[in-house]
Structure 1
């Protein structure tokens, strides 16, 4: 059910979503969760993810949609429109003209053919906040190319730092580039609405999967800028924190992540190795990084003597 009660943060805002698959719909879902009225305009065939099953979500009337679709389309109203049909196109234009926000993730230039691009909508309603999501941005050298999460994870460098040290680059377990772009889009849309409250003017947000994915490199990117070295894959270890990872107990696995000196000392006390907490070589994180292999082996040997619950 839509979360559009009067006490929700975005109550009273209308969003028209001309988006499919994940990044755009995820942004729309975030706004719906915050109370906006979100109208999703779909082609007669529907968002392609409706058929990305199994598994399926079954309805009482016998219809079904893929679980994937439900993961990013909660709380929306669906409207069917075939842009090649004049009546449907007029209806879509009318909805956009009355919207506070329009979200779209068509290939750049596509919606201009139907008068649904930013310039056309803003000419009717200059207060519209219009968010375009694409693989590479609206005007870059690769703007005309489609953007796919797997490809973007590889191009951005995310895959180069994900996976085991001796293994191949790995993508994340979810479509991280799509999801990050959806999050950044929802954030940018709300910032634009705040700006509109001060100026009365809308704006065009140009959001790309590649930009958002590069932004997520965070400390790994700064490691490169500071050292000039490409950060390696470290599996479940942390580039800047030791110890940090998955350890084998006597009856299973557990994660240890003591991220500061106090927590490191507490962990060493818990496993009966106060000597490590008092070892001058390990007195700070830099020392623990320097002695990473030896320290992790010492801790692994101790952890194997404990059960998961006891530790």
Structure 2
């Protein structure tokens, strides 16, 4: 069965997780993807030791495969005239180019937005950045743990008040950024079909982090919901975590306790507390 993007061709010039994971989604939807790498390859190929995995060899990394599935790979040295000509040849019948390189490198390699848009006006250009296009940090490298976790507020919301910030799961923000990239490119392809002109889709780790924290950021403006908070002082005790007798943790979520209180008590085996005025006012 053909996917919705069957017939579309994407050229990926990106490393690590965020941008490649977004392109992987587009490949899952049927697009043909060619990932080009420099002579030394994507550093993420040999990054398995970061996740404490037993690396069998420098040629095998399951986490690289996770974001590289359904792609073909090609070594192209964009530092050379010949390499750039190969890229331009690949782009002649492509609809999308995706990169995570920084502006200075892209200009030097001849694959910045202005250059490619002039050569291929219908091309959709996807760019994953650390901190967006504007501001003092626009040219800084961005990583999941810094641009997404630390600077957006995500990392400050994931631990008990008074405790230490936790180290989140690897790729947590990268993979969310990939989702945003895939959605943006899909929308841009629709626009290119309608107008005949390709657009640039810019997604940043920091902006995605701010977006997923937007409810908390909005609530914080009113002073009543400041993260990190304590599970013991939540405004709704039915939306919290509790320790069980066998020393495990369970998460409850009863968003409207005035409606779900009795059902909740039945579920946990405390039907004797149904309609108890101390708790269900």
Same fold (TM over 0.5): yes
User: d(CA) in 2 for partners of 1:157 and 1:41?
Assistant: 34
Q: Does 1:12 align with 2:3?
A: no
Structure 2: stretches of 5+ with no match in the other structure: none
Match of 2:238 among 233, 237, 242: 242
Cα distance, 1:224–1:46 mapped onto 2, change above 3 Å: same
For residue 227 of structure 1, give the secondary structure of its aligned residue in structure 2. Answer: coil
CA contact (8 A) 1:127 1:196 kept: yes
CA distances 1:186-214 after superposition (whole Å, capped 9, x unpaired)? 11111111122221211011221111110
User: d(CA) in 2 for partners of 1:218 and 1:156?
Assistant: 10
CA distances 1:215-248 after superposition (whole Å, capped 9, x unpaired)? 0103211211233652224469977562432431
Name the structure, 1 or 2, with higher relative contact order (CA <8 Å, separation 6+): 2
Cα distance, 1:266–1:100 mapped onto 2, change above 3 Å: same
The higher radius of gyration belongs to 1
Q: For residue 162 of structure 2, what is the aligned residue in structure 1?
A: 166
For residue 64 of structure 1, give the secondary structure of its aligned residue in structure 2. Answer: coil
Structure 1 stretches of 4+ moved >6 Å: 235-239
Q: Does 1:280 align with 2:277?
A: yes
User: d(CA) in 1 for partners of 2:21 and 2:91?
Assistant: 19
Give the CA RMSD over aligned residues. 2.5
Q: For residue 256 of structure 1, what is the aligned residue in structure 2?
A: 252
Q: For residue 102 of structure 2, what is the aligned residue in structure 1?
A: 107
Give the drift of 1:275.
Answer: 4.7
TM-score (norm 1): 0.80
Cα distance, 1:266–1:237 mapped onto 2, change above 3 Å: farther
CA contact (8 A) 2:124 2:185 kept: yes
TM-score (norm 2): 0.88
Q: Does 1:201 align with 2:197?
A: yes
CA distances 1:165-201 after superposition (whole Å, capped 9, x unpaired)? 2311223213222222111111111111112222121
Give the drift of 1:267.
Answer: 2.3
CA contact (8 A) 1:238 1:245 kept: no
